[in-house]
Amino acid sequence: MEKTAVITGAGSGVGAAVAIALGKQGWRVALLGRRREPLESVAAQVPGALVIPCDVGKAEDVAEMGKRVLAEFGSVEALVNAAGTNVPNRALEVLSLGDYHEMMNANLNGAYYCVQAFLPQMRERESGTIVNIVSDAGKAASPKAGPGYVISKFGMAGLTSAINAEERGRGVRACAIFPGDIDTPILAKRPVVPDATARAKMMQPEDIAECALLAINLPSRVIIEEMIVRPR
């Protein structure tokens, strides 16, 4: 059976790295993101990739995307929720309601919508792996991350736990990966953007992709429920 996966946030960062790594292992991958151009750039490195521009924060868009992917692939064995965002004005005293909802939609609601799009066929088939790229902000709050980001990431951790609690007996498993600092484009949204020296000490997207592939490729009898990964 052809190995198929859906990756959100696939236009850059961890999502792109996971897509490329799965492609090298022979997986057929659907690339999701809000902008087509970055997705096409990644698709050029992933043979047979399906490019689908999609705002995962919009439930209707995700539902349509899910139908298209399943019509094309037949089934989806792995879902990696890597989409995420933050905002520069992130402290409680300056966080706007609009920015708060943007983070919740991109980071948490989008992951939930995508899970609901693909979980039923995993459940029916009694096989599937869901990997949620969370953040160490999903373990402990910090001013660096900001409350909106922290709330959304704690929610992703809870979503992962809920999937395992309800679905592990039906062949579906979920893994929450909690990375520390990674050198990705989201760093540009920090109030103080890290310089080259700071970035050189961070992990790379490919490092987190290796973690995701471990969770996906392990025998189905094994569940890595949580993985905390930080720079050495």
Structure tokens at 95: 């966080």
Q: What is the pLDDT of residue 223?
A: 97
- Residue 172 CA to residue 186 CA, distance in Å, equals 30
Q: Respond yes or no: is residue 149 known to be catalytic.
A: yes
Q: What is the DSSP string of 93-141?
A: TT--HHHHHHHIIIIIIHHHHHHHHHHHHHHHHT-EEEEEE--GGGTS-
Q: What is the pLDDT of residue 101?
A: 97
Domain residue spans of the chain: 4-229
Catalytic position from the list 100, 112, 113, 149: 149
pTM for the whole structure: 0.95
pLDDT (tens digit, 9 = 90+) per residue, 67-120?
Answer: 999 999 999 999 999 999 999 999 999 999 999 999 999 999 999 999 999 999
Strands (DSSP E) contained in the chain are 4-8, 28-33, 50-53, 78-81, 128-133, 172-179, 226-229
CB 118 within 8 A of CB 62: no
pLDDT beneath 50: ranges in the chain: none
Q: What is the pLDDT of residue 1?
A: 59
Structure tokens at 226: 């949580």
* Rg (the chain; Cα; Å): 17
Q: What is the pLDDT of residue 190?
A: 86
What is the CATH T-level fold of the domain 4-229, as seen in this structure?
Rossmann fold (3.40.50)
3-state secondary structure of 160: helix
